[in-house]
Amino acid sequence: MWAGAIRAVSELKPRAFLFENVKGLVRKAFADYLSYVLLHLEWPNMAPRKDEPWQEHLVRLRRHHASQGLGNQGLRYKVTSHQVNAADHGAPQKRERVILIGFRSDLDISWDFPSPTHSRERLLWDKWGTGDYWERHKVPRNMRGQPGPNDARLIERLQARGMSPHSLPWVTVRDAIVDLPRPTRSEKGGISCHVFQPGARVYVGHTGSPPDEPAKALKAGDHGVPGGENMIAHPNGKVRYFTVRESARLQGFPDEYRFPWAWTVAMRQLGNAVPVQLAKALATSIADALGSQDSRERQAA
């Protein structure tokens, strides 16, 4: 899909672009390919020749980039890539992704990736430092579990400093779905898309999401690999699939959104989505940068 994405940038010449991909793109095995994607996005008009392998195209792109000060540069973008966890921006889901963002170079925009607003450390503090999390949800003490050794040491250090982390806590599964009733066997008379789906079970690599953490990344499917971790794992060991409505909340969609398809199709759509909270943080930051550029141009006119 990258060839089509880069062609779209070349033809539309947007002032800015944003692309999202799985975190596997930053694996060492893909280092050259990621370099190729970033460099081709920087110079989108430098298309590959007919039947030219991407490796050979990468060599030409690097040669062109090295001589960028010579002659007509053509369409160019300032491109950056970032690995991000959606939970750090308020999504109730540990969804790690790679974000590629570019601004057209003629705009002379200086831009920084938005800073995280939420943290795991603050969630740990609210659980084990103050207990506010458990009290807010009225979770009995015998259902709270215990922090792991490393988490306990972190809490001790924070207590010694007499301060909590300067951020909001990660949003948990419980935070996201606590006000929803038990799923019903049919949607008739119940909440839209909040229907029980049978068949959930635990197996290797498929254990579900604890309620008091952000969910594991929703996947675009229902069973096995790649569609696996779309379950809630209760403290008593029981598991069940997230309903479509619960999954929509984990992705940040409002309850007004309806998914008029079978569960498997709806979960595929949701598993392929970008969490709304992360999309909003990025889009707002990009819009602010473009708005500032517009303001400077108006003042200079």
Instruction: Sort strands 118-119 and 168-169 into parallel, antiparallel or unpaired.
Output: parallel
> pLDDT tens, 124-158?
999 999 999 999 999 999 889 889 999 999 888 88
Contact 99, 82 (CB under 8 A): yes
pLDDT band at 222 (very low <50, low <70, confident <90, very high): low
Domain boundaries, the chain: 2-116+277-300, 118-166
DSSP, residue by residue, 50-95: TT--HHHHHHHHHHHHHTTTSS---S-EEEEEEEEEGGGGT-SEE-
CA distance 280 to 283: 5
Contact 15, 108 (CB under 8 A): no
Contact 182, 221 (CB under 8 A): no
Phi (first) and psi of residue 33, to 5 degrees? -70, -40
Residue 227 has pLDDT above 50, yes or no: no
Structure tokens at 46: 């430098």
Whole-number pLDDT of residue 108 = 83
> pLDDT tens, 266-282?
998 999 999 999 999 99
* Better-scored residue on pLDDT, 247 or 187: 247
Residue 255 has pLDDT above 90, yes or no: yes
Q: CB count, 10 Å around CB of 106?
A: 11
> pLDDT tens, 164-210?
777 899 999 999 999 999 998 887 777 889 999 998 888 887 889 99
Q: Is 177 left (phi over 0), alpha (psi -120 to 50) or beta?
A: alpha
- What is the share, in percent, of the chain residues with pLDDT greater than 90? 69
Whole-number pLDDT of residue 226 = 43
The reply to whether the predicted model has a pTM over 0.85 is yes
pLDDT band at 87 (very low <50, low <70, confident <90, very high): very high
